[in-house]
Amino acid sequence: MKVSSLRRLVVAAVGVAALSAGVAMAADDAHSEKKMPFVRVSPRDARYFELSDGRPYIPIGLNMIQPPRGAKQEDLGPMADWIKSLAANRGNFIRVWLSAPYFDVEHEKSGRYDEARFARIFDLLNLCRAQGVRVKMCLEHFRTLEGGKEWSRKDLHLVENGGPATDAADFFADEKGRRQFKRKLTWFADRFGDRPAVFGWELWNEVNCVRGADWYAWSEVMLADLHRKFRRNLAMQSLGSFDRDSGRAMYRRLVALPGNDVAQVHRYLDLGAALEVCRGPVDVLAADAVREILTMKPGRPVLLAESGAVEPNHSGPFKLYAKDSAGLILHDVLFAPFFAGAAGPGHIWHWDHYVAKNDLWRHFGRFAEAVDGIDPPAEGFKAGMIEHPRLRIYTLTGRRTFLAWLRDGENTWQAELADGKPPRPVAGAVLALPAGVPGLDGARLRTYDPWTNTWVPAEAAGGKVALPAFTRSLVVRIDAAR
């Protein structure tokens, strides 16, 4: 039977028949590890990812929570086009919210799961598998069971509405609420527990924002349950934006959580943030977040899992996005984390208001081009910085590869977007190579301009590299002779 016919069967069926058809569909389309390997933490270097066949995996992508509101019931619509645009530009990762209205299987009654919504998730994973894109599956996001904004409230879990809890704190602490959430994990495991298109399972979006809940104790229990039910997938948890000093202690607890495979951090450009770094250059705030998390528990993959720019105190998308047709903010979110030691580029929010609206998909391809052919677990990269009067120079020194990302300190979101100053060319600059660069004899040395997608051969003389003129940023790459 064709997949489309099976899909119609699941959507139309009810009760036991719907459940049986859904499970059969998942089993019929489950793809073995031989066809599509799973993502795992690399046993060669636990700071990075690889595939279960041993090939390196750098998650290049963004948050893409759901289709636009109003998308047809059985049509991913623009989301399918976004995924295809990402894949066409060598992207291989997205994050979705399974609790967002379009995908939410638990929308009618607490503990009741909608097989028609299962079909939507099934379609999403099929599309992503075909495009070579893996999906981080975020399971829940509500912050309260009463009051608050509509997007953050899920009152069907209240006792008076047939749910197990008196409030959000009770949902986390009481055994009834915990048992119900575990049943939901089992429901997903029965359908998607053997799907290599799944990057991993994330328990909650910014769980510390749930009112009154003991998120740490709950997460410890649920991460263990995730590992039991999804043995081939990564498991993880997330906290809100690291934009104030008090966030430091919470993030230390998060990265130390048993069973938390990925040390994730969220941070935005936010002029209302308490931390000064969050109000400055985007590359600086992104790199700083990664470095802080790396120091809390070395030896674990770190991802800047949400970033971008917002109006003060997350009151809306950044108004200057409309002026950023060049993709300045996206570029910095992509490059800075990886060059600061993260397991991948940063993953931007505002996939619709900013990335799709400004047609910035090319930037994912530019990052992929800069790191093409690199095996981070084999390199054992050490991140560093080189002082320069004008440039911020981020470096990764590996066993066979040296990478440097040179960011013009004069060119910031403030200068280009707020003040309207076009980027001034950097001409005549020289990069002084640090100690420990892989042997230069016979090495391939070149520069890459991500703004023009151009590679240029270069030479080192006396430990220095003369750079071509560039604007905004430039990558220097040295590959040792084999």
Task: Give per-residue pLDDT as tens, 395-408.
Answer: 999 999 999 999 99
**Does one domain contain both 354 and 239?**
yes
Residue corresponding to tokens 């609420």: 177
Percent of the chain with pLDDT over 90: 85
Helix residue spans in 230-271 (DSSP H): 246-256
Q: Is the model's pLDDT at 12 over the cut of 90?
A: no
State whether the Cα torsion 241-332-77-35 is positive or negative.
Answer: negative
Model pLDDT for residues 87-102, shown as the tens digit of each residue: 999 999 999 999 999 9
The pLDDT assigned to 456 comes to 98
Q: Are residues 24 and 57 in the same domain?
A: no
Say how far apart CA 233 and CA 244 lie, in whole Å.
32
**Does 435 share its domain with 366?**
no
Same domain assignment for residues 24 and 37: no
Which pLDDT score, from 0 to 100, does residue 70 have? 66
Residues 166 and 291 in one domain: yes
> Which of 327, 343, 373 corresponds to the end of one domain?
373
Q: Is the pLDDT of residue 204 over 70?
A: yes
Query: How do strand 269-270 and strand 309-310 relate by DSSP bridges?
Result: parallel
The pLDDT confidence band at residue 298, using thresholds 50, 70 and 90, is confident
Residue 442 in this model has a pLDDT that exceeds 80:
yes
pLDDT at 13: 39
Boundary-marking domain end, from 317, 344, 373? 373
Average pLDDT for 437-466: 93
Q: Does 20 score more than 50 pLDDT? A: no
Least confident of 74-78, 380-384, 413-417: 74-78
Do 167 and 50 share a structural domain? yes
Q: What is the pLDDT of residue 22?
A: 44
Write the CATH number for 170: 3.20.20.80
Percent with pLDDT over 70 in the chain: 92
Whole-number average pLDDT of the chain: 92
Q: Is residue 106 located within the same domain as residue 209?
A: yes
Residue among 264, 385, 370, 281 nearest 329 (CA)? 281
Average confidence (pLDDT) over 187-198: 95
Structurally, the chain folds into a number of domains equal to 3
Give the domain-ending residue among 307, 338, 373: 373
- Please determine, for residue 24, whether its predicted confidence score (pLDDT) is greater than 50: no
Cα dihedral across residues 274, 280, 282, 288: positive or negative: negative
DSSP string, 22-44: HHHHHHHH---TTTSPPEEE-SS
The CATH number of the domain where 465 resides is what? Answer: 2.60.40.1180
Q: Distance (Å, rounded) from C-alpha 219 to C-alpha 209? A: 13
Q: Tell me the pLDDT tens digit for each residue of 242-280.
A: 999 999 999 999 999 999 999 999 999 999 999 999 999
14, pLDDT greater than 50: no
- Considering the domain architecture, whether residues 40 and 22 belong to the same structural domain is answered as no
194 with 292, same domain: the answer is yes
Q: Do both 60 and 24 map to the same domain?
A: no
Residue 415 confidence (pLDDT): 98
| Shared-domain flag, residues 24 and 38 | no
Expressed as residue numbers, the domain containing 22 is: 1-30
pLDDT at 74: 61
Judge if 367 and 438 occupy the same domain: no
pLDDT tens readout for residues 76-85: 889 999 999 9
Report the pLDDT value the prediction gives residue 5, as an integer from 0 to 100.
40
Task: Tell which wins on pLDDT, 28 or 300.
Answer: 300
Least confident of 37-51, 148-162, 309-323: 148-162
